[in-house]
Amino acid sequence: MTTYSDFRSDTVTRPTEKMRRAMAEAVVGDDVLGDDPTVQKLEALAAETMGKEAALFCPSGTMANSIAVKMWTNALEEVIVEERSHIYNMESTHMTFISGVTPRPVRSVRGAMDPKDVAAAIRKPNVHTPRTSLICIENTHNNWGGAVIPLANFQALRGVADAHGLKVHLDGARIFNASVASGVPVRAFADEVDSIQFCLSKGLSAPVGSMLAGPKERIEFGRRLRKALGGGMRQVGVLAAPGLIALTEMVERLKDDHVRAKRLARGLNGLPGVRIDPETVETDIVIFGFEHPGLSCGALLDRRKHKGILALA
């Protein structure tokens, strides 16, 4: 077996030995019937961690985001999204496919949308146009190289939402990275939004799963949506068990990833053809430009692969 240094994503983490043991020993029930105690424990912990009434264990972040959009919107409505956001670019357009709403992209500075731009993107009630009903924020921001969106930006966007009667959903796939990097507790970010999705399966190392947290009544509706989308899972305590370890034992170590990412960025900086400002690497994602007269991006990746180094372009 070839051993690779795999820099493609923080999703290529493997479950720890302790997680594998917890999976083998997990107490399970039938979660579609609502009686898997390990899932119940994980959902209660996720809700408490985020300071929300309830939480729902979902097979993926994409499904959790899909459910969130569906539970806050109706057909003929519109959702304000950041133009490089995952929910807009990387989730196979579930907004139109599942929720029948249109996304309205807004530009940003490193993922933080100007509240004035967001306010300007809110539609005036009109028979011609969709009704704006939801704002989505992403933190950390994946396509902006893991940028941390400051709490002050959350507060400003909350103000805009409240002034116009809109809901706010946080795609917090890496909200723990944002918290560890900024020193702001996850609950402080979560307090400013109506619902939050976060991933257990990235830097927290669980093999599967995302949590959607929010008000009890909406999350119960979300449970029905999850079933309708085919995301009802049976003896799924085997997957909730590593999720519990992810939440209780793996958050602290994210800072090690941040230190390594910074070191990698500093090392890349100044190599021929590489364009990166190491100062912008705040968390665990390193994105750099590459332009070289004698080497295409694809050729660079191929050569690295032969050396046992994997990366994504």
Ligand X SMILES: *Cc1c(COP(=O)(O)O)cnc(C)c1O
Footprint of ligand X (CB under 6 A): 60-62, 65, 86, 138, 142, 171, 173, 199, 201, 210
102 phi and psi, to 5 degrees?
-100, 140
Tell me how far, at minimum, the Cβ of 96 lies from ligand X, in Å.
17
Please, which residue, 138 or 257, has the CB nearer to ligand X?
A: 138
165-177 burial, b at 16+ Cβ within 10 Å, e below that, comes to: ebbbbbbbbbbbb
Least Å distance between CB 299 and ligand X? 27
Toward ligand X, which CB reaches closer, 67 or 156?
Answer: 67
In terms of Cβ atoms closer than 10 Å to its own Cβ (0-12, 13-18, 19+), residue 153 is buried
Minimum distance from CB of 306 to ligand X (Å)? 28
Nearer to ligand X by C-beta: 72 or 122?
72
Q: Are 273 and 292 in contact (CB under 8 A)?
A: yes
Name which of 41, 76, 104, 68 is nearest 223 in CA terms.
68
Name the token pair of 23: 């999976």
- Which residue do the tokens 């723990």 mark? 176
CB nearer to ligand X: pick between 120 and 228: 228
**Rounded Cα–Cα distance for residues 84 and 56 (Å):** 26
Structure tokens at 294: 């004698």
**Between 158 and 169, CB nearer to ligand X:** 169
Residue 123 token pair: 């539609």
3-class secondary-structure state, position 292? strand
Q: How far is the CB of 135 from ligand X (least distance, A)?
A: 16
CB of 136 vs ligand X, minimal distance in Å? 10
Q: Which is nearer to ligand X, 122 or 281 (by Cβ)?
A: 281
Q: CB of residue 139 vs ligand X: minimum separation in angstroms?
A: 9
Q: Which is nearer to ligand X, 49 or 65 (CB)?
A: 65
Residues paired with residue 195 on neighbouring β-strands, in sequence order:
169
Phi, psi (rounded to 5 degrees) for 107 = -75, 170
The distance of closest approach from Cβ of residue 65 to ligand X in the complex, given in angstroms and rounded to an integer, is 6
Contact call for residues 194 and 169 (beta carbons, < 8 A): yes
For the bound state, the minimum distance from the C-beta of residue 129 to ligand X, rounded and expressed in Å, comes to 28
Closest to ligand X by CB, 122 or 186: 186
172 and 154 in contact (C-beta within 8 Å)?
A: no
Contacts of 85 (CB under 8 A, 6+ apart): 105, 111, 136, 138, 141, 143, 171
